[in-house]
A and B are shown apart, each in its own frame.
Chain A
């Protein structure tokens, strides 16, 4: 499958807002790429440029090596979910997919197949306007899967889903990537991508802040961070700080220590007679890693003009 998306130096201005400011990254086949950033960071605009809906002021986006607007049967190349509200409320779910299928010359059997795939077979003949947000997400994903494309691009697919729905989407995304497809999933909540994304593109203010594998990111942030449980945190903090460690409280009887190794901590505390209950290497969540990464960008944001969302 020659899937994948290449984004090169996209710039786009809406009035006074620079929505995209040199956005560049690549979505590769066979893995889920998380597209993360605060609201207004330019995620949706990037996706709209990929689909040819918005014209960039500079740069280009290629799908499988071609501009999207040059594709003869685009839904067979790239399946996308941009806006779950994009449906005529009085049209049934099945008819919503049927007209889409007709644009690509796809048969009705394909419509029924994807409806089953997203678990909407029983609701196929109900009006989509009466659907819950979760059902609309499933319908939107069905539309993305309709053309059996090698590349998928989903904007905030977890929005409005119950825990069961979130589990379902995660499993689906993982299986789609396992089939060799390129999958780009945006989210403003890093925690949603935990255990799903293999690769992360973190964006802020219209440009890429970090473009990294999830494993490397976690390893990098977690390096040298130790959790210390003790009944006398004040004494422990004093001893460790004197030895050059950075110490922060992380609970009533817990400290997070960086800057010194686990062995050094043990010997320092033992040597100074400070008792402790447990010493463990800290397991960093993706959320923490993300906050670490975007701290700078967020501070910058807070101190300058707010970015309009799109």
Chain B
């Protein structure tokens, strides 16, 4: 037979042929192709709806400063500083860290004394007073002892764990040598313990004393925040090395930034203590030097999650397609023809799974790649702050959206094979993915059950889109209601992928066992 010989030349393997055939099946049903476009459009259009309706702060927050790592940061503090042109050191003792808190239940103007756990009084080296600049700091805190922090995201605990007081002063020291800055602490100004080393750019830097205080966060109940102002009392700064000029004061950052604000009646400032110039300083400030997180500590800002919120709509549409791609075989007896052409049933299912996963990945990643810049453009248009995340995080959210939809599509396909009817399969898919996701993140459930849903159900996979950062050194309410998944991004995805693979294995089992 002529045709047989003619064909033998162009010969991919059996699996590739099956995949090719399934792709032909998929692309030749116009409704399915349009469905893919619809899934992408739904995902993208949701961002437009979302960014229109959350226009609560028109003309309010400008873009948040971005730190050296590309993440949105708070960089607001009261700073008494001098210029250090080369190597040198700064040593000072902190003798008090006190503050004023707004009483959230006491009505306007009611305040009480106190400091927030991450209120800071310390010393800092930074090349610039521009918010978002690189820095290295050693600081006493309200409740977390002495810390050495640099470039917003790095935080090291020092030996000292107490709160500064005249009886227990905390001695702090920064030593600059070339690009390296090393931090030390001491209880007596004599015996010093090295905390660690970090780097700042060369050339002239500003170095000195700073105080700041993030807002007080209610970690229970609704999780609101209220203004807090801190005052740090420093001894006389001891300087060695290449210092220039005299002490100057600056409020770095606008007001108190996104994470803090001044208690009504207080303002940022400083006062020289003792007789004569420069014996010591009392500095008052509010704000924070830290990455921006979500929840009450974050303040209003659009996030990657805001922009990708339409993903669940795309997931439903793609789930319908994937379930139909399986159920259509049963609906019209097409499966008999499919299996007559390819008797290896596992291969048919595998080809279908690869196909729907690939299509869903392209749709998901493509829609996310369009949605993120579109959302940012929308945010700028309405003068709404955007919580910038590093490019690698954005890339992970984009690819993760593709993988999330791919895994969900495989789950839908498997349910379609198991249940043989698309309506039933889609209902099951929505019940195990979208519903837990909406219930947990919509704040309709208490934190505990919401977190368990996002650990156990396939909805855990949405964690792969998580771009909201979480830092030990920033107090916030890291719960699903504030957009925080209990599992890390890839951990959550692994839960979904596990469900999808288990369903696929079950589908392969019944497909092999059942009469077609």
List chain A positions with a Cβ less than 8 A from chain B: 48, 51-55, 68-72, 74-76, 80, 82-83, 85-92, 95, 98-100, 102-107, 109-110, 113, 143, 148
Instruction: Specify which of A69, A87, A90, A105 is in contact with B31 (CB 8 Å cutoff).
Output: A90
Which residues of B, 17-53, contact A by the 8 Å Cβ criterion?
17-18, 20-22, 24-25, 28-31
Q: How far is the CA of A85 from the CA of B337 in the complex (A)?
A: 10
Which one of B188-196, B339-347, B438-446, B456-464 contacts A?
Answer: B339-347
4 new A-B contacts at CB < 8 Å, known A80-B340, A105-B10, A110-B3: A51-B343, A55-B515, A82-B340, A102-B24
Contact A88 B328 (CB under 8 A): yes
Contact A105 B340 (CB under 8 A): no
Q: How far is the CA of A254 from the CA of B442 in the complex (A)?
A: 89
Contact A74 B3 (CB under 8 A): no
Q: How far is the CA of A33 from the CA of B340 in the complex (A)?
A: 21
Count B interface residues, CB 8 Å. Answer: 34
| Contacts A69-B343, A95-B28, A148-B1 given; does A102 touch B337 at CB 8 Å | no
Q: How far is the CA of A106 from the CA of B4 in the complex (A)?
A: 8
Contact A83 B340 (CB under 8 A): no
Contact B332 A107 (CB under 8 A): no
19 A-B pairs in the complex with CB atoms less than 8 angstroms apart: A48-B336, A51-B339, A53-B336, A68-B343, A69-B343, A80-B340, A83-B337, A85-B332, A86-B337, A88-B28, A88-B29, A88-B328, A95-B28, A98-B24, A100-B341, A102-B17, A105-B7, A105-B17, A107-B3
Q: How far is the CA of A107 from the CA of B7 in the complex (A)?
A: 7
**Residues in chain B near residue A80, CB distance under 8 A:** 340
Indicate if B6 sits at the interface (CB-CB under 8 A).
yes
Q: How far is the CB of B23 from chain A (nearest CB, A)?
A: 8
Q: How far is the CA of A109 from the CA of B339 in the complex (A)?
A: 23
Instruction: Specify which of B7, B11, B21 is in contact with A103 (CB 8 Å cutoff).
Output: B21
Q: How far is the CA of A71 from the CA of B14 in the complex (A)?
A: 11
**Residues in chain A near residue B25, CB distance under 8 A:** 88, 91, 99
Question: Which of A76, A82, A100 is packed against the most chain B CB atoms within 10 Å?
Answer: A100
**Residues in chain A near residue B29, CB distance under 8 A:** 88, 90-91
Q: How far is the CA of A100 from the CA of B17 in the complex (A)?
A: 10
Q: How far is the CB of B320 from chain A (nearest CB, A)?
A: 15
| Contacts A53-B515, A85-B332, A105-B7 given; does A143 touch B337 at CB 8 Å | yes
Indicate if B334 sits at the interface (CB-CB under 8 A).
yes
Contact A54 B516 (CB under 8 A): yes
Q: How far is the CA of A91 from the CA of B340 in the complex (A)?
A: 19
Question: Which of B11, B339, B340, B342 is packed against the most chain A CB atoms within 10 Å?
Answer: B340
Q: What string of 1s and 0s marks CB contacts (under 8 Å) between B234-250 and chain A?
A: 00000000000000000
- Closest residue of B by beta carbon distance from A51: B340
| Contacts A54-B516, A76-B4, A103-B21 given; does A91 touch B28 at CB 8 Å | yes
Contact B28 A92 (CB under 8 A): yes
Which residues of B, 296-347, contact A by the 8 Å Cβ criterion?
328, 332-334, 336-337, 339-344
**Residues in chain A near residue B341, CB distance under 8 A:** 74-75, 100, 103-104
Q: How far is the CB of A155 from chain B (nearest CB, A)?
A: 11
Q: How far is the CA of A70 from the CA of B516 in the complex (A)?
A: 17
- Closest residue of B by beta carbon distance from A82: B336
Indicate if B12 sits at the interface (CB-CB under 8 A).
yes
Q: How far is the CA of A81 from the CA of B192 in the complex (A)?
A: 89
